[in-house]
Amino acid sequence: MGLNSKIKEMWKSLETTGLPSYVWTSDKLSFWRERIVFFIIITILVFGFIALIPLVIIGYSGGSWSIAGLDLLAWLCALFVLANRGLPLSSRTWIIYFILFLFGTGFLYFLGLNSAGYIWLFGASIIVGIILGIKPALTALFFNLIVFLFVVVMIIVNPSAWAIQTDNALKLWLIIMLSFMLTNALITVVMALLLDGVDKILFNEQEIVNILREREEKLKGTFEASPDPMVVYNVDGYPQYINSAFVEVFGWTMEELAGKRIPFVPKDQQKICKQHIEKLFATDSPVELETKRSTKDGKIINVLLKAAVIKDSEGKPMGTIVNLADITGSKKLEKQLRQARKMEAIGTLAGGIAHDFNNILQIINGYADITIMDKDKNGSDYSNLQIILDASDRAAQLIRQLLLFSRKVETETKILNPNHEIKQVANILSRTIPKMIIIRTHLSDHLWNVKADPVQIEQVILNLGSNAVAAMPSGGKLIIKTANVRVTKQTIHDFVGINLGDYVLITISDTGHGMEKGIIEHIFEPFFTTKDVGAGTGLGLSSAYGIVKKHNGHITCKSKVGKGTVFKIYLPVHRDRQWAVEEMDDTTTLIGGTETVLIIDDEATIRGFSSKALSHFGYTVIDCSSGEDALDVYSKQNNDIDLILLDIGMPGMGGYKCFEEMLKINPNAIIMITTGYSKDEKVQKALEAGAASYLGKPYKLSFLLKSVRKTLDDNVQFKN
């Protein structure tokens, strides 16, 4: 290390020790002012000590100790300032001025005009101007002027004490004073103004720096507060900054990514990402796209990427800022929502198809019933007609499954504990499934009750259990569990079509061959099946889906090839009232009557069957094809009509509107509701509004006769 380097190191160490602690965090001008004061103090201490030795010798030999005394006083003042560097800068500066002022005045007084006293006064005022500014500088100049005026007076009184050439002493001093004061004032004021200007410039710059720092902190705070991962890249694509959300979602820290590209773009996304980056810089417009990214642990997530260019002060690109919102959850919900909408649409279609088929089956059933009554039971015609009726019954069951899927079938609800239904199904399965399949039940001891149709709940469990058995041809385990669960705001995002609240969870799992993802997406659709032709209708799971939805529940399926399948059924704990359907026995003797019945149905063949059937058993029948015609008839003959058989699903004014208008004509009208949709919302509404009974299509002759007879008998007191 050279001499200069050693001196710099020593001075740096000295400044570290001697400067006030605040200067290291202050503005630059304050720092340099403190350095100037410190340098002056150190200079006075060093050279004052060096000069003190010869001054003492001169004082001893010449008998004059005045200059030595001044030097000692200045040295002690400098030592005081160094020891009390915590004093305000202005106080320490004025002490330095006093030291220099003392030297200048002393030299002038003791050594006369030929001394360098005025130079010390000159320097004192300049130092004050440099460090403290224009106003203190003018004050220092004023003190200097007082000294010069005092000296002028002293020259006049005793010129021999101030100059060798006494005749010219006053003239000489006036020249010196005027020259000195002009030069002193000019340089002091200029230096003070210069430093004052620098001070203001630096102050403004500091304000700008503070504003920029504040903005930077706000930007950094916003960056960090963002819930989405964010990255700032340079123009070469290297990350310069990442927020905490990025670390949380993707796993990498800034230390791991320093000087590297982020390795999170999947191969199938690299081409399109490169195209969008080129577009970003080419068009200078923000880009947005849905893409995929890999996390540090290899997980692929869906992200909504938004990127914009960052420019420098000259408008040149210096990098990009990228927002990477994780939309994996929303994409999952979107998929679930699409599936739910698709199932809802299929359900609506299935309901409409079921309605039309019920009307067709009603015609087949009805006319076959009428025809078979006149046939000999031992004849071939009777046997053929019975086959038709049996096939019609099977078709009606198939339609019922469609209605279950579309949630348009009536339910017979009661308070029940699902554990009871599960035990019954487990007993049925245990007697019918192969012995190499083991059934295990894990039922909660404190399971909540639900309000549901026990037959339908058993059907759901039986369907799922049967499918599980079919998936284990070589044996395995069928496990049925129950538990109480609570769907909260924190967990509801995992479901579509389920509300907050308490649910009974039924889990049915197997160790079978499982299903691929593409199959799971369709398993609840009607007629979809993976079984061989003739081995299944494809309505088992769709009807299970419809039953669960009918009960305001939720059903999910997860499966993995070779690992098995898990179905989860959520049934709500609720207290809603449901309409109970009264089952009829069709084996008793058929009974007719003599009352008058008004049949209203837009299907001519159904009207024809009902008219023939009721007429055959003694009733007087009036039939109408629309609500409008029926109202016209009823307004004229309501006193003669005992019962109205009304299809609630007619076109035109509609069955329900017709129902309301008839009650306006006669509030005591006895109206039996029918529909191919089974007991839907309109039927429930009509029953609650005063309809006497309900008969769902397709109905047999026996059910028609018994329903008509029972409805008339139960409501005979309302006959006008």
Average pLDDT over residues 477-506: 81
What residues pair up with 288 in beta bridges, in sequence order?
Answer: 306
Contact 424, 458 (CB under 8 A): yes
**Residue 445 DSSP label:** T
Residues 6+ apart with CB under 8 A from 278: none
Closest Cα to residue 226, out of 145, 326, 141? 326
Q: How confident is the model at residue 576 (pLDDT cuts 50, 70, 90)?
A: very low
- For residue 718, the model assigns a pLDDT of 44
Per DSSP, helices labelled H in 28-88 are 28-62, 66-83
pLDDT surpassing 60 at residue 181: no
Give me the pLDDT at residue 469, please: 86
> In this model, does residue 409 exceed pLDDT 60?
no
pLDDT at 532 over 60: no
Q: Where are the beta strands (DSSP E) in 431-528?
A: 437-442, 450-452, 476-487, 501-510
Q: How many other C-beta atoms are found inside a 10 Å radius of the C-beta of residue 153? A: 9
- Round the average pLDDT of the chain to a whole number and report it: 76
Q: Is the dihedral of CA 6, 11, 16, 22 positive or negative?
A: negative
Reported as a pLDDT band with limits 50, 70 and 90, residue 596 is very high
Q: What is the mean pLDDT of residues 566-580?
A: 68
Kindly state the percentage of the chain with pLDDT values over 70. 70
pLDDT the model gives residue 720 = 44
Query: What is the pTM assigned to this prediction?
Result: 0.36
Give Cβ neighbours of residue 220 (< 8 Å, ≥ 6 apart).
none
Q: What is the mean pLDDT of residues 233-240?
A: 85
- Cα 8 from chain centre: 59
Q: Tell me: the pLDDT tens digits for 309-362? A: 888 777 788 888 888 888 877 666 666 666 656 656 655 665 666 666 666 767
Spatial distance between the Cα atoms of 439 and 218, rounded to a whole number of angstroms: 63
CB 283 within 8 A of CB 267: no
CA distances from 131 to 16, 38, 117, 121 (A): 20, 12, 22, 16
Nearest to 96 by CA among 117, 127, 68: 127
Taking the C-alpha atoms of residue 382 and residue 405, their distance in angstroms, rounded to an integer, is 35
